[in-house]
Amino acid sequence: MTSRRVGLLLVSSAVIVVLAAWLSSNRPTTRPTLAGQPVMQGFDKGILNSVTEIRLSKGDGSKTTLKKGNNDWSVGEREYPADSGKVRKLLLDLAALNVVEEKTSIAQNYPALGVEDPTSDKATGTRVDAVTPSKTYSLIIGKSAGAKSGYVRVASAPQSLLAAPLISVDADPRHWLDKAVMDIGQERVKEFAVKPAEGPGYTASRPNKDTSDFAVADIPKGRKLSSPTAADPIAGSLGSVSLDDVQKAAAPGAVHTVFTTFDGLKIDVAGRKDGSKTLVTFTPTSTDPATEAEAKTLEARLKGWEFEIPGYKYDGIFRPLEELLEKPPEKGGKKAPAGGPPPGLPPGLQGIQGLPPGMQLPGPGK
C-alpha cells in the first residue's frame, strides 16, 4: 500500500469521527417526563403534621382559613371547630398527588382546565396554600377529568398537569365546619314541653322507657290526637342534629321546646327565623348527678353559638299543637262527594248524575 493511499484512509477516518461527533452533539435529547412524580416536591406524609394553616380561595372572593390548634382544626372565618377528618383527608390527598400526564404550559389555555390564577371572578379553580414553618406549598386545583383524576398547576409554575387522585375542594367556610351538633335518641326522652311564641303550648310525656308513645296534655276540649303516635317524632327530633352554618348567638329565640331525659338531662332549644334561615340555640342543664358531666360537656361546646339547621329539622322540634290533632268536622256536617247526586232526590233517581239544561226534577210528593 502506497503512502498516498494510507494518507487517504487516515483522512477518511478522521472525517468519519468528526461527522459522528457532530451528529451526536446535534441529536435531539428526549425530555424526561414528569409522569409518576409528586406534583408538589417535598410535600409528603412526613411533613403533614407540620402544616399549621391551610388557605383556600377562589376568584369569586370566597375563602376559608383552616387553622391548626393544640388539639384540633378550626375554621377561621367562623372561629368554630372544623371537620378534622375532612381536613386530614385533604392533606393526605395533596401528599399523594402524582403526575399522570403533562398538559399545557400556555397561559391562554389555562381556563379550559380551570387552572388559571384565581384572581378574577371568572376563574373556576381553587387555590390551596398549605403553610408550614419552613415553606408554603401552593397549588391551583382545576376541573376534574373523571372520577379519579383532575387538572392542577403548581402556583407560579407554567406547566399544568393531569394528576391523581382527584381532589375536590370548596372555599366556602360552611363546608369545612364540624357538622355534628346534637344526638340524643328518642329512647332517652321522658317528656318535652313546647312553648310557641303564639298559640297554645303543650307537654307530652311517657311514664317509662317501655311505653313507646307520648301522651299529650292540654288538648282542647272536644279535640283528640290524630293518632297515638302523633307526638313521638318530636321526642326524636334531637337525634342526629347537624348544622348548615353557625354564628355567634345574636338574638333570643322566640319559641322553645324543653326536652327532659329519664336520667335528668334537660335541653332547652330556642328557635327563631331570620329570612329563610332557621336558627336554634341549645341550653343544657342537669337535675341528676348521672348527667352532670354530659351537661357540662354540651354547654362548653354549644354555649354562645346559634346554629342554622335544616328547615324540616326546625319544624320537627317546634311543631304546633294543631298539627298533632285530628281535624275537626266541617261546619254543617259532611259535604256530598264531588259529582254525586244532590241531596233529597226521590228513590229511583239516585243514579242520575246530571240533567239537560232547563229540566227540573219534581219536588217530593209531586
Cα–Cα distance for residue pair 127/134, rounded to 1 Å: 19
Instruction: Provide the percentage of residues in the chain whose pLDDT is more than 90.
Output: 76
How much is the pLDDT for 286?
Answer: 97
How much is the pLDDT for 92?
Answer: 97
Confidence class for position 349, pLDDT limits 50, 70, 90: very low
- Specify whether 189 is located in the same domain as 80: no
Cβ(101)–Cβ(162) below 8 Å:
yes
Q: Is residue 40 part of a domain?
A: no
Cα–Cα distance for residue pair 101/359, rounded to 1 Å: 86
Grid coordinates given for 302:
354549644
Confidence class for position 36, pLDDT limits 50, 70, 90: confident
How much is the pLDDT for 8?
Answer: 53
Instruction: Flag whether pLDDT at 340 surpasses 70.
Output: no
- Specify whether 171 is located in the same domain as 184: no
212 or 356: whose pLDDT is higher?
A: 212
> What tens digit of pLDDT does each residue of 160-201 get?
999 999 999 999 999 999 999 999 999 999 999 999 988 889
pTM strictly above 0.95? no
- Specify whether 157 is located in the same domain as 200: no
Domain housing 105: 45-175
C-alpha R_g of the chain: 37
> What tens digit of pLDDT does each residue of 295-338 get?
999 999 999 999 999 999 999 999 999 999 999 887 765 544 44
Q: Is residue 366 part of a domain?
A: no
Instruction: Provide the percentage of residues in the chain whose pLDDT is more than 70.
Output: 81
- Specify whether 136 is located in the same domain as 208: no
Domain boundary among 112, 146, 175: 175
> What tens digit of pLDDT does each residue of 223-252 get?
999 999 999 999 999 999 999 999 999 888
Confidence class for position 13, pLDDT limits 50, 70, 90: low
- Specify whether 156 is located in the same domain as 188: no
Q: Is residue 62 part of a domain?
A: yes
Q: Is residue 16 part of a domain?
A: no
Mean pLDDT of 81-110: 97
- Specify whether 62 is located in the same domain as 145: yes
- Specify whether 283 is located in the same domain as 224: yes
> What tens digit of pLDDT does each residue of 250-268 get?
888 999 999 999 999 999 9
Mean pLDDT of 359-366: 46
> What tens digit of pLDDT does each residue of 141-162 get?
999 999 999 999 999 899 999 9
Residues 6+ apart with CB under 8 A from 239: 183, 184, 185, 186
Mean pLDDT of 270-294: 96
- Specify whether 161 is located in the same domain as 199: no
Q: Is residue 131 part of a domain?
A: yes
- Specify whether 154 is located in the same domain as 190: no
Cβ(361)–Cβ(355) below 8 Å:
yes
350 or 265: whose pLDDT is higher?
A: 265
> What tens digit of pLDDT does each residue of 286-304 get?
999 999 999 999 999 999 9
The domain total for the chain is: 2
- Specify whether 228 is located in the same domain as 97: no
Q: What is the mean pLDDT of the chain?
A: 87
Q: Is residue 292 part of a domain?
A: yes
Q: Is residue 170 part of a domain?
A: yes
- Specify whether 135 is located in the same domain as 210: no
How much is the pLDDT for 329?
Answer: 80
How much is the pLDDT for 199?
Answer: 83
Domain boundary among 175, 210, 236: 175
Cβ(207)–Cβ(136) below 8 Å:
no
> What tens digit of pLDDT does each residue of 207-217 get?
999 999 999 99
Domain boundary among 151, 175, 199: 175
How much is the pLDDT for 25?
Answer: 52
10 or 86: whose pLDDT is higher?
A: 86
Q: Is residue 112 part of a domain?
A: yes
- Specify whether 149 is located in the same domain as 218: no
Assess whether the previous peptide bond of 343 is cis (omega < 30° from 0): no
Burial track 204-236 (b if 16+ CB lie within 10 A, e otherwise): bbbeeeeeeebebeeeeeeeebeeeebbbebbe
